[in-house]
Structure 1
Amino acid sequence: MTELRIPQHVHAGEAPHGGTVLFNARSGQWYAMNGTARELWEEWRRTGDFDTGVQTVADRFPGVRYDHVRLDAEKLADDLVERGLVAAEKDRTPATEATPDVGEERAFGQAACVPQGDGVRWLRTAGWLGLCLALLLLRLPFRVPAYAVDVLKRPRSRLRPATMRQAESMLAVVRRAADGHPGRAACLEHSLGTVLGLALAGLTADWCLGSADDPYRFHAWVEIDGETVTRHDADDRVSFRRVLVL
């Protein structure tokens, strides 16, 4: 009997039509799955048992042959295991954590942020350094920058909360610095550079990653006390749901 465990680095969010999006915080990759796959995923997350999940879902669809449901479930489980979204174990009680599921791997969409300088020279220097550090960390497995942000924001750190004005100013500096970068610099680089720049200046903010639907889009941004740092672009009309907050 195969038992399934959801790793702690897998985070899930809702998707339309009963589906689910999930984020692998180790690889930095997003996935999406439909409603039927989500039914299986939820049962595996709840029970940790492959066979129980298959039987439960088969009972919900009496018009579909059990062997067809099981075959699809095996393919789904193999796909999830291959991508590091599920761990398959033998005769071991699983420890369930997050809620996610499979589908097509996507990349972060581009986003822009509003510039507003505050005239503080050190914030500008910290912004440039924050972007450089972000570009370096994002060349490594995603778990590395995620860990770096987590360490910087631990209670024993001496960072104080940033104000919205300070965060907007830092974001503006990071975006201007990114304009001179010959490689990719979009929402992921901008937001991480802003959070790291604020940390170098002794300030803290939330680094958020989330998704939107129809079509699937994935985004990274900065928040202060639950409020998104101001930005003006076409995506302002889009509501992104938070999947992971660091």
Structure 2
Amino acid sequence: MNALGYRLDAEGLFTAALHPPARKTTQVRYVDSEPRPSARVRAAGHVGLATALVLLRCLPVRLVVHAARLAARLPGRTASPEEADAVCVAVRGAVGWWPGRAACLEESLAAYLAAALTGRRVTWVLGARFVPQGAHAWIATADAVHGQEPADRVWPYRAALSVESSN
């Protein structure tokens, strides 16, 4: 300990922690090895993608977030990690048919809406990181981030906005 540390300790202002606080780790789940989702989930993926594309291209972001919060009012239960993965795979399949751009913002909103349409709850997250700088959007369940590709992103991103069930 240096001189400043001794002075802080003498004044009673310095307390040393025995162990650093435990940091919650987030599991990142990838879409490369997921099985084909059911026809119902695939249909929800197409509807979710079409809705997300219209919302993001025609409305300001604040209204898109409001629409996502309205979707959270649909009846449903919390999605399991496997159900969230299935929705991501369905949206990724729908994106394959879309001739235009569909990046993480469009895909994550589409997956969030598709999950709501199938009666499942996930969290839609918009986030950023500082080093290297970047912004990203994703869906999440309790302790997992869903729908990522193995070589796609460098984690960790910090959530700036989360839209989840308000029920």
For 2:143 and 2:67, the matched residues in 1 are separated by 21
Return the letter of the residue paired with 2:62. Answer: R
Is 1:117 matched with 2:39? no
Check conservation: 1:118, 1:166, Cα contact below 8 A.
no
Identity over the aligned pairs, expressed in percent? 36
SS of structure 2 residue aligned to 1:234: coil
For 2:147 and 2:95, the matched residues in 1 are separated by 18
**Count, aligned residues:** 132
Is 1:136 matched with 2:54? yes
For 2:35 and 2:151, the matched residues in 1 are separated by 22
1:39-188 matched pairs, under 5 angstroms: 114-115=31-32, 116-117=34-35, 119-139=37-57, 140-154=59-73, 157-188=74-105
Question: Which digits, 9 at most, give the CA deviation of each residue in 1:82-126, with x for residues without a partner?
Answer: xxxxxxxxxxxxxxxxxxxxxxxxxxxxxxx51523542111111
Question: Would you identify which runs of 4 or more consecutive aligned residues in structure 1 move more than 4 Å?
Answer: none
Structure 1: segments with no counterpart, 5+ residues: 1-112
Return the letter of the residue paired with 1:131. Answer: L
For 1:243 and 1:200, the matched residues in 2 are separated by 25
Partner of 2:5: none
Backbone CA RMSD of aligned residues: 1.7
Structure 2: segments with no counterpart, 5+ residues: 1-29
Structure number with greater CO (CA < 8 Å, separation at least 6) is: 2
**What is the TM-score with the length of structure 2 in the denominator?**
0.72
